[in-house]
Amino acid sequence: MSIASHAFRTRDIAFLSSGSREAEEARASLVTLYGSVPPEEADIIVALGGDGLMLQTLHRTMKSPKPIYGMNRGSVGFLMNEYSEHNLPERLAAALPSIIHPLIMRANDIRGIETTARAINEVSLLRQTYQAAKLRIEVDSATRLSELIADGILVASPAGSTAYNLSASGPILPLDAPLMALTPLSPFRPRRWRGALLPDVARVVIEVLEADKRPVAAAADHYEIRRVTRVEVSMDRVTSLVLLHDPGHSLDERILREQFRY
């Protein structure tokens, strides 16, 4: 289904719940009002929960993306719309799409096994013990930082720049910015380095130095691989994921507002 046509086909809706009491009650009520089909048969998926459920739903539908409209039945709800049972078909028809692209992580562990995973928000590397991680950073085959001593480092997409990246004092990126944020986590050396903004066509390679002595874990959103030796990160421009938001509350607008909340 094309993005432009989603407003004309909102009859087949799949309702997904985070499993919390509030979300389950909302799902039961909405199914009674509007019916429900399995996610693979739906024109639009309505996710009932918080941002965690939205990320899970995006990952669940990654191979066959469908427009996802979230309604907040969780705690934060940055990616969600306000909850209401009324006029849902009309809200879905009027909703505006935001297009996001995931990151691809290719991680090698100490056994030489390579694992590929995708991330909506960020790919992060984090020390596993009391000792700081030692990392070498390459961008497009050129060494940009021969040694970073820190708790770790992350690569964030524009959509994920307001999540872990912002908590680590990384920059907020507009949703349509052709950029990725490279942000260190508690850097010790070089102490003044605060990260970099990279074009989203860049290929970032992070080598773990002294991997046996200073073990490091890598995570693509919630998917973690331990004792990695090398992690490659790039943007998956082929995969387009669609989030729907009510007019005036688009993801672009939310990200812009977030920059004025300090």
Are 137 and 206 in contact by the 8 Å Cβ rule? The answer is yes
Burial of 242 (0-12, 13-18, 19+ CB in 10 A): buried
Whether 236 sits among the annotated catalytic residues: the reply is no
Residue 197, amino acid: L
Give the N- to C-terminal CA distance of the chain in Å, as an integer: 40
Pairing mode, strands 142-156 and 133-139: antiparallel
- Active-site entry in 51, 200, 212, 252: 51
Q: How far is residue 11 from each of residues 7, 36, 93, 103, 232, measured CA to CA in Å?
A: 10, 9, 10, 32, 41
Q: Report residue 235 as tokens.
A: 């943007």
| Dihedral in degrees, nearest 10, Cα atoms 129, 133, 139, 141 | -100
Cα–Cα distance between 177 and 93 in angstroms, integer? 27
Kindly state the DSSP code that residue 255 receives in the 8-state scheme.
H
Q: Any idea which residues carry the catalytic annotation?
A: 51
